[in-house]
A and B are shown apart, each in its own frame.
Chain A
Amino acid sequence: MDIAVIGLGASGSQLARQLAISSVERLSLFDIDARRLRRTTTAVEAIADDATTEVTSGPILDEPVPDVVAIATPVGTQLELARTWLSRGSDVVTTSDDPDEVSGLLELHDEAVEAGRSVVVGAAFVPGLSCVLTRFAADGLDEVEVISVYKAATGGPACARQHHRALKSSGYDWLDGEWVLRRGGSGRDLAWFPDPFGARDCYRGALPSPFLLQPVFPAAQRISARMAATRRDRFTSRLPMLRPPHADGGPGALRVEVRGRRDRAVETIILGVIDHPSVVTGIVAAIVTEEVGSGRVAPGAAGLATWDDPAALLRLLWPRGVRVASFDGTLEAQLSEPAPTISSVIDADLAATD
């Protein structure tokens, strides 16, 4: 399998590292920043198996057409790259979380089907893992009525800039059969993320999740997405970023709430993850890239909510350290033994490591 990674920022470098420990015969790394390219190439070469994986790198991708091109460049650049590599005959995996770009990538569907290639849209933390969890939760219901996606924190600097833009921009919710434009920073909702992340006020913004989920759940009455923000975030969202973003904005969290009916009874399934968004993006994108390269993904352009077997994808994420938590309501009679929390599991892992 011949794979190219374009963009070696916080998420792209994690993606390259994950692919280096996979069954990839040729891994080509590209970035316009020479220092970043050199640093990531050195790290990847150190962990790749020389006997099975050939690692090459350069500023411009002008070598033979790879089987799969994984794009982790800043938002706004991914659509053009995806279009270019699709036309050259590669499968494409993207990580964008910009709603306009995601819509543009989904519009490549007919072109991808015609070429017999796959364009995976939003193989990241949110969207990406959030879409997989939504599908996993929805598969446990007979019908889906309401989907709510929440996210907190960011990956690298490019992700933080997009997060800042998203909070001040309007986004779309799916409401009773039509798209409704909502003002960014409105609609405060207190969302409880897995322990120890806890509760965060979340607001509307320009988030792509509804665009990726609505085609998969057309009968849902409401599909919305919100992002965590503080008062300061909301106050300064209309201003340029006052200081450079952190190299990594994690740890972060996501929460997916799916309400529907099972056996005619109303049921709500809540799933969540806490981890560094850049790391999880790298893991999700790497696994999806391998799956695409193995020919296990149907041609077309779609998000991860279309994945036929979300549980299988979650099983692949597990050995790489991505842990999913479920918020389970419990009747008083069942409370004699409290369920283990993520924090207790992390503490136990740390104790075992020490």
Chain B
Amino acid sequence: MLRLARRVVFAMGLTGLIATLFRLRGSGGVPPQSGGWREITPSELD
């Protein structure tokens, strides 16, 4: 039982570590939550 608990804790810790690594090293940023069409103005074309 104790061995099982240790394995669960180890697995969760490892998962957290990998997730943290992805979070810190990932380059995707926060994806847009919503949006819309907007007209491009001439100043944006300079």
Contacts and interface: CB of A to CB of B under 8 A. Distances in A.
Given A265-B27, A311-B45, A327 B36 contact: yes
What are the 5 tightest A-B residue pairs by CB atom distance, in nearest-first order?
A329-B32, A339-B38, A329-B35, A311-B45, A265-B27
A271 to B, nearest CB: 8
Majority secondary structure, A binding face: mixed
A329 B31 contact: yes
A310 to B, nearest CB: 9
A9 to B, nearest CB: 30
B28 A340 contact: no
Nearest to A341: B37
Interface stretch (A86-94, A144-152, A226-234, A317-325): A317-325
18 contacts: A195-B37, A263-B27, A311-B46, A315-B42, A323-B40, A326-B37, A328-B32, A328-B35, A329-B31, A329-B33, A329-B34, A330-B32, A330-B34, A331-B32, A335-B34, A339-B36, A339-B38, A342-B39
Contacts of A324: 39-40
Contacts of B40: 271, 314, 323-326
Nearest to B38: A339
Interface residues of B, number: 17
Contacts of B45: 311-312, 314-315, 318
A160 B4 CA distance: 69
Interface residues of A, number: 30
Interface string A281-308: 0000000000000000000000000000
A338 interface: yes
Contacts of B46: 311, 315
A354 interface: no
Nearest to A195: B37
Nearest to B46: A311
